[in-house]
Amino acid sequence: MKLLVNGVWHSDFQPLEGERIQTGSFREFISADGSSGFKAERDRYHLYVSFACPFAHRTILARQLKQLNSVISMSVLSPDWGDPSGWTFGDWSHTTADTVNGCDYLYQVYVKAKSNFTGRVTVPVLWDKQTGTIVNNESADILRMLVTEFDAFGNASLNLYPQELRAEIDDINAFVSDRINIGVYKVGFASSQLDYNTAIAQLFDALDILETRLSGQQYLVGHSLTEADIRLFVTLVRFDVAYYGALNCNLRRLTDYPNLWNYTRHIYHLPNVSDTVKFDHIKRHYYDTYEGLINRRIIPIGPILNWDIPTLQVCH
């Protein structure tokens, strides 16, 4: 496992028998009025992301839709997470150097923020240029901050977390997070056939539920795009190109669900959304980085094919 332990990078950390490692994260909040200790300001904050990662994609999309690209700067890491150093600033198309801290690897940014940090080095990361630290590395928090706290600088008319829909958005977020966003990883990283069978049943049950929900509505909650749609979209847009093959989520494809497929295409074609989707990064990351289930000898459950569709007579 790739891990920072007391500020020292380990490309393959193996805990000793019975050893429990206390891992940390950064969970401070930026607020519009500064009452949280981090005030929303122009040119103060920086995002570290990968176009491959669905969790980072939440934040890239919010920054884009809220028109914060010139307010919050951004560095893009290489999709090759298989490198022993983990997330790396590389020279892939659409990647950048670390323009803020001049680091070669993301773990160095974490060490700059906290010299004895212990934990996973994940994207996205929200960096504060003023105090020289990581504010937060949890995508759900960062998404929420971008959506609610930067209206003085971005597109305030786009309300992705409307007051009257908050309870419903929170509910569906919890479902989508566990069953879909993390659900695909539960399938992909299952360590036994039994775990795989359970995880895939839960994943596709959840997709069936969402397929039904979207039969009479364009968006998950209410009548316009919300944060909940951002969180579902980032997984669905990766489904057929990556999860179906690389994580063996292959009972059905996204394109086999008329409503979910329509929903995902609709969001993809909203203004400026497709700019945030880089399929080459996504494929590279998932197919190149993870060993995949084939090496664990887990037999995929699908695909379901209908052999009973009448054949066409070929005339000649």
What amino acid positions are annotated as catalytic residues?
53, 185
CA 144 vs CA 81, 114, 193, 226: distances in Å: 26, 24, 37, 11
Does 55 help bind ligand GSH (rule: CB under 6 A)? yes
Q: Are 200 and 251 a contacting pair, CB within 8 Å?
A: yes
Does 46 help bind ligand GSH (rule: CB under 6 A)? no
Q: Which stretch binds ligand GSH (CB under 6 A): 34-42, 89-97, 117-125, 307-315?
A: 117-125
**Cβ count near 211 (within 10 Å):** 18
**Cβ count near 95 (within 10 Å):** 19
State which of positions 209-248 bind ligand GSH (CB under 6 A): none
Residue 122 labelled as part of a binding site: yes
Does 134 help bind ligand GSH (rule: CB under 6 A)? no
Q: Which letter does DSSP use for residue 255 in this model?
A: G
> Phi and psi of 6, rounded to 5°?
50, 40
**Cβ count near 52 (within 10 Å):** 29
Residue 75 labelled as part of a binding site: no
Residue 121 labelled as part of a binding site: yes
Does 122 help bind ligand GSH (rule: CB under 6 A)? yes
Cβ neighbors of 176 (< 8 A, separation 6 or more) are 206, 210, 220, 228, 231, 232, 235
Residue 255 labelled as part of a binding site: no
Q: Which of 28, 83, 138, 280 lies at the binding interface for ligand GSH (CB under 6 A)?
A: 138
Q: Number of residues interacting with ligand GSH: please give it, by CB under 6 A.
A: 10
Q: Which of 95, 108, 139, 264 lies at the binding interface for ligand GSH (CB under 6 A)?
A: 139
Which of 53, 147 has the CB closer to ligand GSH?
Answer: 53
Question: Which residues line the annotated binding site for glutathione?
Answer: 87, 120-123, 138-139
Binding site for ligand GSH (CB under 6 A): 2, 53, 55, 120-124, 138-139
